Amino acid sequence: MRLLLALLLPFSVFFTIGRPFSGLFCLLLQITLIGWIPAAIWAVYALSQYKTDQKIEKFLKQRG
């Protein structure tokens, strides 16, 4: 679901993962049509980093 948001409304992904300032900056970038593609790429990248961080955190909780 978040991946679809990252492609259609990139700025909204940052709000769902708890990065509101990045979301506002992404919205400014997304306002221009040329900026939409970099904003979408940035949102997908941030989402993948968020998922990786969640997996690492889950693993560390299980170990310790």
pLDDT of residue 48: 95
pTM above 0.75, yes or no: yes
Q: What is the pLDDT of residues 14-42, one digit of tens each?
A: 999 999 999 999 999 888 878 889 999 99
pLDDT of residue 54: 94
> If pLDDT is split at 50, 70 and 90, which confidence band does 1 have?
confident
pLDDT of residue 23: 93
Q: Which amino acid is at 11?
A: F
CA angle 37, 42, 43 (to 5 degrees): 100
Indicate the DSSP class of residue 32: S
CB 30 within 8 A of CB 39: yes
Tokens linked to 9: 């409304």
CA–CA distance, 25 with 11 (Å, rounded to integer)? 8
pLDDT of residue 3: 86
Reported residue count of the chain is: 64
